[in-house]
Structure 1
Amino acid sequence: MAEAASGTAGQQPNGRSWLRITGSVGPLGLAIAVLWLSVIVLLPLAALAFHAFGGGWSGFWNAVSAPAALAALRVTVVVSVAVALINVVMGTLVAWVLVRDDFPGKSIVNALIDLPFALPTIVASIVLLSLYGPDSPIGVHLNATQPGLVVALAFVTLPFVVRSVQPVLIEADREVEQAAVSLGANNWTTFLRIVLPTLAPAILSGGGLAFARAIGEYGSVVLIGGDIPGHTQVASQYIQQQIEVDRPANAAAVSVVLLVISFLTLLVLRLFAGRAARKEQRSR
């Protein structure tokens, strides 16, 4: 009787439980989440857009089409694309080694991959300047050059590709690869026909995240880049320069351009990920 009573204590007369866990946070939780996002994200973006378009569309266009602004944006986009492409290759290779190979110190290397996430980027710039600057101990001088920008940005964006590809490699069905090899396929053919299609969404996602991060990076390039207008000055340095000369509207306008580029990149990645997920569900 006691068990029956305890078993029905949480039920309504119609037999349905009144203590149901639906997973919803309710109206209060939703309101708190919306308020937090508004304070942290929406309000700052609205303030940025207000300053950028304070002089109207003509003022915004004049700010972003100025020769110095266009040069900074061009350098930023070109270098970021180069960095994303390099890390797509090298990040995939590093992820492959960490998943498929065993070697002494593997756990240490695996931990070092996340170092750029924890290390202040200005520290990375100091280290790179010490290694590749005018007094380079190894005789490699990349200070105030675009290759120096590439090295600095590659350092801070590598984990995005590695950590995107690594879990997919871990979960990949190796029996399919073994079957391909048993049918006579060589390693390169197996990788191109079997492995690469599986890794492609993760590689694209990691490369896109690396590009979006590189677009707005400042700390890692501030010292080794040299801040040479038209050559090594990236958009983030141009924005700081405009603030220093008391032109906040110009800085806000270029910031909006960077924001749009990053948003479109993330939007494309989101759409591609959704399409890949739907395709995988249909194939099951």
Structure 2
Amino acid sequence: MKFVRFGRPGAERPGLVDSGGRIRDLSAIVPDITGAALGQGLAARVAGVSVDNLPLVPEGTRLGPCLGNVGNFIAIGLNYADHATETGAAIPKEPILFNKARSCIVGPNDDVVLPPDSVKSDWEVELAFVMSKTASYVSEADALSHVGGYFICNDVSEREYQLEREGQWMKGKCCPTFGPIGPWLVTPDEVGDPQDLALWLEVNGERVQNGSTRTMIFPIARLVADLSRYMILEPGDIVTTGTPPGVGLGMKPPRFLKRGDTMRLGIEKLGEQQQRVV
């Protein structure tokens, strides 16, 4: 199933993409699309409903972030070997973890706002997932049973904040609007193998990233198992899993976002996003 959230910022309502690609209002069935709702059998409840009888959402209605009530927003750094190489970093021997702020989350087609003194804001198409079950010290074999769905994340990053200022990477990862997610949250049964998805990103119509989740250094099962050693993962926690090569930092010369640019990005089976840079 493909779940969505639609409406004004801060007042999004739950929805479902029907077989014809139209959005149906799920407000009568569930208050919101959350990790907890997924873990409590939301997909099974919706499967027992006549979708054609659900109200249609008017075309052109804004899509909000595909998940509500987000807990932790965890990110994985340098999880594609060729991306590590293009940035001049060593290939990690175990997952690199950092945080993004929940306050940076926006809808898939909302504007991305450059910080006033930004000079090196960059793009990163990534596969993200949400936890639907609590995970603590889980095995890789059992890890994916704790995942409630998958979606696209654009891990927008200010490289000067991230790499040239003192402290941790999260300085360049948490600015408002630096976390577009969606358009859909797709359930695992519809995604199939999350390690076999094409992903891409264009800037002003030019394809700059073109990769596959097959080339992740640490697959999602390993990430869940590894994270659960260091923290309790809870329903509603989201993890964005790293980006393939083609970021602006790795270009020669480097290329960064400027006002008026447009980013368009997608992942196989998970839809597309498009953001204007302002």
Q: TM-score, normalised to structure 2's length?
A: 0.23
Query: When you count strand as a share of all residues, which structure comes out higher?
Result: 2
Answer with 1 or 2: which has the greater Rg: 1
Query: When you count helix as a share of all residues, which structure comes out higher?
Result: 1
Q: TM-score, normalised to structure 1's length?
A: 0.23
